[in-house]
Amino acid sequence: MSLAKLISVARGDSPADLLLKNAKIINTFVGIIEEGNVAIYSDRIAGIGNYVKAKEVIDLKGGYLAPGLINGHTHIESSMLHPAQYAQAVVPRGTSTVITDLHEITNVAGFNGIKFIMNWAQKLPLDMFFVAPSCVPATHMETGGAEMNAQDIKKMLGMKNFIGLGEMMNFPGVISGDKEILKKIVAAQGKVIDGHAPGVINKRLNAYLSASIGSDHESTTLEEGREKLRRGMHLMIREGSSEKNLDALLPLVNERTYNRCLFVVDDRSCSDLLHEGDIDAVVRKAIQSGLEPIRAIQLATINAAEYFRLYDQGGIAPGYIANLITITDLTNLEIQMVFYKGQLVARNGKYLGSPLKASTNELTDTVRIKPFGIEALKLTTRRESFPVIGIIPGQIITKKRVEMVKAKDGVIMPDLEEDILKLVVVERHKLSGNIGVGLVKGFGLKRGALASSIAHDSHNVVAVGTSDHDIFTAIKEIEKLQGGLVVCVDGKILAALPLPVAGLLSPEPLEAVVKKFEKVEKTASGLGHVPPDPFALLSFIALPVIPELRLTDMGLVDVLAFKLINTP
C-alpha cells in the first residue's frame, strides 16, 4: 500500500479501489449511526463522506455498515476444525479478527503446534493474533506433551502476530508468588496479559491483579464480575458451547462500564459455529436480551481492539483496516457481506474464497499410550465414602462432594441409581503409564462409556462410563484413531469422530466434521439423562485450574487447595 496514494484518495483527488455508498455507518467510537459513503484504497479505509470516484462501487441502499467482529478470547482448537476449515466457519459470520491462546495445541506439540497454526493463519482471510500460552502445562499435577518456560515466552513474544501473554491459569501460583510463574509474567511486561481467575475475590484478587494482569473471562456471577470491574480488570463476557455466562453478567454493562467489557466465546464447537455462529451469536443474544445494538457491536469490535492495542481495528475511520460487514437487520444481526482488507470474502453466509485443502500428515501420531490392561482401571478404597466430582449444569466449575459408594471387596463400583460413574484419565504423551481413576456425579449415563482425547489442557485421554469394559474399549479406540471422540456400548463402538491432528483437530471439511460430531453427541445423549454438550463437559473434567475438584493422569486434584488428594 502507498501511503501517499491513500492520502490522495482521502482528499478525493484519486479514485478509491472500492466505494461503499449509501451506508448507515455504525460509529463504534461514539456510539451513533451516520449516513455516508466509505472510500477504500488497498486494505485501508481512506475516508467517510461524499466520495464518488471509485474503480468499483457497491450501493448498500441504506444498509448498515459495521467493523468486522473481533473475538477477543478463543481457543480455535476447541472447534475441532483445521485452521482452513475454521476460517470457512467463522468468516461468513462476520468474524474478521480472532485473538487466540494456543495453549491446547501447544500442550500437545509445543512449538511445532504453534508453527502449524501460524503457517496456516497467513493463508486465511481473517486476522489471527496470538497470545503466548502461559501455562504449559497448566499445573505440576498433570502430564503434558510440552513445557514452556519464561525463555520460551520471550521467544514467542518476538514472533509474528504475538501480542501478549495468554490467560494466566495458574492463579494459585501467581497469588503465592511462585518464582517460575512470576518469571513468565516479567517476560511479558509491557504486553497485554490475560487473566483466568475463577472465584478469585478480595485480597486474593488484589494479589493476582498486582502482577499487571488485565482481563478475566471466568466470572460466573454478577458479584464476581462487579468486583473485577471495580479493581480495574477488563471483563470478558463469555458465551461458549459449554460456558454460558452472558445472562449472569450482562446487567453489569451500563454507561459507566461498557468500555471495560468485551464479548468472547472461549470455546465453541464446530456444530455451534456452523449453526449458530461465532462472536456474532453472542452479539445477537445480547441484543435479544435487551442490550442496545450499537452497544453490543462495540463490545465485539472497538472494545476488544483497544484492549489488545490493535489501534487500526474495531472502527470505521480513515487509516483503519477495511475489515467490514454489512447488516440488513440490525436487531437480528443479519450479516450480508463480509470484507477482509477491502476484499469481499463472504456473502449471505457463504464463504467466497477458494477452499484450502488441509494436509493429512501434519502433527499426526501424537497419541502414545503405554500398554495397560483392564485391571488398571480398578478403583479401591478402605472407606465407605469417597471424593466425587460434582457436575454443575451449564457450568464448567464443579463441586467437591463426598459420597457413600458401592464397593465389593474394596473395589468401588459405579452406582447408576445415584448417578455416580467411573472416570478415567490416561496419559498419552510420554508413555508414562499414568492412569488417574475417580468418580463423577451428574453425567447421567445409564449404559456405555464416552472417551475423548480433548481433555483440557494437557489433552490426555479422558473417559467416563458405567463399566470398566466399555471404558477400556473406548480408550483403545481413541488410541487406534490417534485421537477423537468415541461412544461405546457393550464393547461396541457406536459412533466416533477421528481427530488425528494432534489428537485435537480433523482435516476433513467443516460439514463432514459437524455431521460426525453431531452423531457422537446424539448417540451419547441417548445413553441416559445426559447433560447438553456431553463431550465439551467431559473435556473440562481434567482441567486442574477450575474449581473445585478435577481428575488428571496423576489423580484427584483439589483445585482450591491446589494439591493432589490421597484417596486410600
* Position 433 pLDDT exceeds 70: yes
Lowest pLDDT segment from 103-112, 160-169, 349-358: 349-358
> Rounded to an integer, what distance in angstroms lies between the CA atom of residue 178 and that of residue 469?
42
11 and 93 co-located in one domain: no
Closest CA to 38 of 324, 347, 297: 324
Q: In the structure, what pLDDT confidence band is assigned to residue 409 with cuts at 50, 70 and 90?
A: confident
Residue 242 lies in a domain: yes
Q: Give the C-alpha distances (Å, rounded to integers) separating 463 from 116, 158, 262, 392.
A: 28, 38, 34, 18
Q: In the structure, what pLDDT confidence band is assigned to residue 506 with cuts at 50, 70 and 90?
A: very high
Residue 334 lies in a domain: no
pLDDT digits (tens, 9 = 90+) for 26-36: 999 999 999 99
Q: Single out the residue in 309, 337, 354 at which a domain terminates.
A: 309
179 and 235 co-located in one domain: yes
pLDDT digits (tens, 9 = 90+) for 275-329: 999 999 999 999 999 999 999 999 999 999 999 999 999 999 999 999 999 999 9
> Rounded to an integer, what distance in angstroms lies between the CA atom of residue 206 and that of residue 219?
16
Residue 365 lies in a domain: no
Residue 284 DSSP label? H
31 and 82 co-located in one domain: no
Query: Mean pLDDT throughout 501-513?
Result: 95
Alpha helices in 43-94 (DSSP H): 83-90
- Residue in the block written with cell 491446589: 562
Question: In terms of pLDDT, which residue wins out, 189 or 357?
Answer: 189
* Position 37 pLDDT exceeds 80: yes
* Position 163 pLDDT exceeds 70: yes
- CATH number of the domain bearing residue 40: 2.30.40.10
> Rounded to an integer, what distance in angstroms lies between the CA atom of residue 317 and that of residue 46?
8
* Position 106 pLDDT exceeds 80: yes
**Number of domains the chain is built from:** 3
Residue 353 lies in a domain: no
Closest CA to 34 of 23, 20, 46: 23
Position 226: which residue type? R
Q: Which residues pair with 76 in a beta bridge?
A: none
Alpha carbon 18 to chain centroid, angstroms: 34
Residues of the chain by 3-state class (helix, strand, coil), percent to 5: 30, 30, 40
pLDDT mean across residues, the chain: 95
Q: Which helix (H) or strand (E) holds 517?
A: helix 510-525
- CATH number of the domain bearing residue 193: 3.20.20.140
Complete edge-to-edge strand list for the sheet that includes strand 549-552: 549-552, 555-558, 563-564
Task: Please state the φ and ψ torsions of residue 435, each to the nearest 5 degrees.
Answer: -140, 115
40 and 76 co-located in one domain: no
Q: In the structure, what pLDDT confidence band is assigned to residue 382 with cuts at 50, 70 and 90?
A: confident
42 and 82 co-located in one domain: no
Residue 316 lies in a domain: no
Ramachandran sector of residue 77 (left: φ over 0; alpha: ψ -120 to 50; beta: rest) = alpha
Give pLDDT, residue 545.
87
Query: Mean pLDDT throughout 5-11?
Result: 97
395 and 489 co-located in one domain: yes
Q: In the structure, what pLDDT confidence band is assigned to residue 359 with cuts at 50, 70 and 90?
A: confident
- Beta strand pairing status for 411-413 and 127-132? unpaired
Alpha carbon 86 to chain centroid, angstroms: 12
* Position 394 pLDDT exceeds 80: no
39 and 81 co-located in one domain: no
471 and 509 co-located in one domain: yes
Residue 339 lies in a domain: no
32 and 74 co-located in one domain: no
Residue 508 lies in a domain: yes
Q: Single out the residue in 309, 327, 352 at which a domain terminates.
A: 309
Give pLDDT, residue 128.
97
Query: By three-state DSSP, how is residue 33 classified?
Result: strand
Residue 366 lies in a domain: no
Q: In the structure, what pLDDT confidence band is assigned to residue 257 with cuts at 50, 70 and 90?
A: very high
Question: What are the strands, taking DSSP E only, across 75-176?
Answer: 95-101, 127-132, 162-168
26 and 143 co-located in one domain: no
What is the number of alpha carbons within 13 Å of residue 188 lying toward its C-beta? 30
Domain that holds residue 72: 68-309
* Position 219 pLDDT exceeds 80: yes
pLDDT digits (tens, 9 = 90+) for 58-91: 999 999 999 999 999 999 999 999 999 999 999 9
Closest CA to 152 of 106, 120, 191, 121: 106
Query: By three-state DSSP, how is residue 355 classified?
Result: coil
* Position 269 pLDDT exceeds 70: yes
Query: By three-state DSSP, how is residue 215 classified?
Result: strand
Q: Single out the residue in 270, 286, 309 at which a domain terminates.
A: 309
537, 540, 545, 547: CA torsion to nearest 10: 20
Give pLDDT, residue 568.
61
16 and 78 co-located in one domain: no
42 and 109 co-located in one domain: no
